Structure 1
Amino acid sequence: MNFPRAVLSILRLHQALTTLHPLPPRPSRFSLPLQLALAGALGIGSLATAQAETPAASLAAPTVQLAVAAPASPAVALPPVARQLAAVDPRWSSSFEAFAAADLKQAPQPGGVVFVGSSSIRLWNDLETSFAEQPVVIKRGFGGSQLLDCVKLVDRLVLPYKPRMVVVYAGENDLSEGATPRDVLERFTAFVRAVKADLPESRIAFVSIKPSPSRAGMLAAVRETNELIKAYSVTEPSLDFIDVFSSMLGADGQPRPELFLGDRLHLNAEGYALWQRIIALHLKG
């Protein structure tokens, strides 16, 4: 059997290379008798011996081995990422510093009542003592805030205290800043979901938005918002709607000015006394 000199040279080069850098065994395209005959005809005795000892070796020209990345390992199931505490707006930094200092001095016992919301909660000076029948009352109001802010900061305002009940007064500032009644409803439902995700047994009570004389132009939006949230609260057994709005209107259907400070926006002592009587009825049990 005659082979071109170039073929013989290639095969001898292959023999030398595989001697120095053996390739991993791979199935041959030739039967063993044909491999031995071919090796003998070429006069490559050592190759013939190697083929006899390792039938799987191939006489085919060496192939280029490409570096292929190993398959990626299955994704490791990571534990749920803890919610990151929302950054506090600089307007309320002093309030939240005071909350932290109070908690550090004496951490409230779980199972209490937490009041959250805007300045109507913050300015209620005797709130903690106004509900003496409650073993634990925690005030977490921050002035100028919206219900949207209560949603963002629920991890700071509510969850650490593990309350049995959360009382919310917020939404008035949302309307004042351009939110619609339905926006406020959606923000309240988001607040409820955020609380219930961690504290499914806690009750949540929404204090109706008050009829502030200085915001008389919002009265229709306030009424609509209150009705939307009241209707939503009926659908959830763990929700409560506390109506202070109706009692704050006079016989003429207008806000009672004697319940407010001179700014016609914030409550005076008589206004808070009215709130206390109404809210206390909803904290029993």
Structure 2
Amino acid sequence: MKRNYMSINRKLLFLLFLVGICVSCAKEDVIRREEGDITIKPLWGNYIAGKFLPPEIKYYLYYLNNISVSPIIVTDLKGEGFTKRLPVGIYRLVGYNSADASNNITFDESKPSTVVAKTSQDDFIPLDLYIVSCDSILIKDNETITKEIVPIEVKAKTLSLIFSFRDELNSLSPLKGKIEGISTSFNLLNGEVFEDENFISFRDNNNNLYFRISGLSYNSNLSADRNTELLPPVLSLTLGEGENSYTGDVSLGSIISSFQKPNNIILDVIVKKYTQYTGSQKRILIETHLNQYSD
């Protein structure tokens, strides 16, 4: 009886040993995940002329294999880059100098897989905004990659509207309007226009209006192969209020080519009564001309 008892104990101990090995292996498999290292090195060069040190950079690493995952945020206090160990996959890097950029820039981190910078319309000092971004970074298991990135300075354009009123329309106020197809926001992945925000609205009594803009944002799909055509923005105006108000709109096609070069776009806007309109509404005829002082 004693031998049988000892034999059972040995078998039990052996089984417990096997179970322990299996649990250990399973635990090791759970803990071990495929990871790799990424090193980011900004190549500042002359981008920070007049400054002794690179700016502090805030980085967002978006996991493109699952965009619902919150980004990994890295703060680089010295602006010299960083090294980070990440699970394998494809990442998007968006970095910008949030600390010393213009105080009148609003940063929106809620957009999918990017950060958006929105400019204030009453701030026309330099943005002092730089981005260190990369659209696609592939992380492989147990591999280390280095990305050297030349920072891009984000620059805004200034759009000026200089109004001239005919037919006694200058007595009507306020001047209300909207420009559709122009954005005031920047995608910090590439420093270009963020197309989800594509209009400017205004209400003013002044004849001269100024806007800080990022670019045109109206595109039209022409065919299944995704060829696109840039559509001109549209300026809509309302003069006065109630029964005495006049409305009208005009295409701003004349400024499309101007966006390829000038930093400051000046439009002369001439507003007249639209006498040929036969409807019940009071309409205005709007003419626009690119001012010779656009640069």
Which TM bucket (shorter chain)? under 0.3
Larger Rg: 1
Name the one with the larger helix percent. Answer: 1
Question: Which of 1 and 2 has higher RCO (CA within 8 Å, sep 6+)?
Answer: 2
